[in-house]
Amino acid sequence: AKDAIIKLNALSTMRIVPLDNDLILLSMNIAADLQLRAADATYVAVAQQLNIPLVSWDKEQLRKASSILAAYTPDTYP
């Protein structure tokens, strides 16, 4: 597990996003508005906060999130 963490941290495209109060509140609102589970809503909130598309394999998450941001599977991401 520690080797995996080291490898993830070495990725130039990897970014750790702190879970602060603003992000928690945004996640809660997205969860309520889109009827998403808390964890799924948090990923949507991070994408929205960073103004980036959501990329996920979760079809339900993508379908619901697409109403508020660009959402793709890894296969359909441009």
Q: How high is the pLDDT of residue 7? A: 86
pLDDT digits (tens, 9 = 90+) for 4-51: 888 888 887 878 899 999 999 999 999 999 999 999 999 999 999 999
Q: How high is the pLDDT of residue 8? A: 81
pLDDT digits (tens, 9 = 90+) for 41-58: 999 999 999 999 999 999
* pTM for the predicted model, two decimal places: 0.85
- Structure tokens given for 39: 């964890």
Q: Quote the CA–CA distance of 46 and 13 in Å, as a whole number.
A: 15
The pLDDT of 60-73, averaged and rounded, is 98
Q: Quote the CA–CA distance of 7 and 73 in Å, as a whole number.
A: 23
